[in-house]
Chains A and B, each alone.
Chain A
């Protein structure tokens, strides 16, 4: 079902763990659906100096978290915001179509973490990011209503 690259990221994920006193924390997904992702950022001079993740989910969710954090590490914030789920899929070779949404989750969690950093530091938030955040928040609250918990 999964290719070697996905399996290797799943069995040996990069950037796994958390950052104490992180500058930004983002979360995406929903435990009811089986996938939850958390991303932690350490930011210096607009650059992602360090990034870590924790994920509860299937092999694809863990592998995409690993790749997404690899892609974001060392990037300027505005560059990291440009990472798309296609970039993650491309990096992994391919994903079963039923698992494509997992790559979306890691992009979401990353953007949420950046949003969290910008808003905490009262920095200007790009319009697009603002709307992505609103959408994500709405989705979470729908899931919360539907299942009674996040």
Chain B
């Protein structure tokens, strides 16, 4: 059976050139970057070259790049790290953040901080006016996801940054899904903290980074040997970091254009199905994200039907498939629980082809039809 992977927002396969770049750093150049001998120096050199490459990609001259174990750690670091040095009390975030930001905010609330969760419109965009109104005297941090992992909404970082700057409040953004898919020039966007990671861009799992603008007051959350300039202790994951730095060149401009085309074909073809809807925006949407909703059926059943036809998809965040709760992102967009339950996310990669997309559309049509035959609502009114 044909196998088609359409869950690239969950993770991507490691690219061949990335694997090749990592290979020497397992058994050959295996040194600890903190060691003084040649092995250590070789590791340190690879670490700094990687840092430089990522810095160039984001035009991040006046930022420190702190490597972490991934997006979750970088987001925890940004929020807890800034919170532990502030005299402020209030954080502004959105209702559509990834769980690692939302649950960190909930934890901070338990520590006595106050958090405002901004609503979004029916396409998943925050309102700049509502952001403006959410500021308090003691607001010290705004954290807003750049490209949403479930519905692909790309927020207007530049405008958000302007508002935060006016209030003299730090802006953090989680750019795990948008990094390398949406151009980010930090000199222009000028956010104070930005989270990126590797395994969404054909790099290895277990590596990410927090970029911290010079002068931003932040405490480490991991204490130990003082690696990463004291900001993140723990022996550096050199092979992973080298792979990460290599992965930033994997997705080319032409790949983004191609994914956009495939995305639009997939959306158009799928919407031919009766009583189907697109979740999220038509414009300002991640090039690889499709999120659809079908009346009268349930998302998990649809995913397993598609899986039986060789197609890997998900119901939004892969993390939330362990719970029975409908997606908090879809609910925040104003969907009713039963509508959110009937949703499925398909995410493309640079490897996706038009043949795969056509096959997926046919499989979707068949699967939806099968499940609607089983469902009471399409049949017994």
Contact = CB atoms under 8 A, between A and B. Distances in A.
Contact of A56 (B305, B324, B336, B376): B376
A16 B372 CA distance: 11
Among B322, B374, B379, the one with the most A-chain Cβ atoms within 10 Å of its Cβ is B374
B301 A59 contact: yes
A10 interface: yes
B183 to A, nearest CB: 38
B338 A55 contact: no
B373 A16 contact: yes
B374 A13 contact: yes
Contacts, number: 62
Interface residues of B, number: 23
A18 interface: yes
Nearest to A34: B341
B300 A56 contact: no
Q: Is the interface of B mostly helix, strand, loop or mixed?
A: helix
Interface in B304-339: 304-305, 308, 322-324, 326, 336-338
Contact of A58 (B301, B322, B373): B301
A98 B324 CA distance: 8
A10 B301 contact: yes
Given A32-B336, A34-B324, A62-B301, A56 B375 contact: yes
B102 to A, nearest CB: 20
Contacts of B374: 13, 16, 54-56, 62
Q: Size band of the A side of the interface? A: 20 to 34
A59 B300 contact: yes
B380 A33 contact: no
A83 B88 CA distance: 60
A99 to B, nearest CB: 8
Interface in A115-141: none
Contacts of A38: 376, 380
Interface of B: 296-298, 300-301, 304-305, 308, 322-324, 326, 336-338, 341, 373-377, 379-380
20 contacts: A7-B304, A11-B305, A18-B380, A31-B338, A32-B337, A32-B338, A34-B326, A34-B337, A38-B376, A38-B380, A54-B374, A54-B379, A55-B376, A56-B296, A56-B297, A56-B298, A56-B377, A58-B301, A59-B304, A62-B301
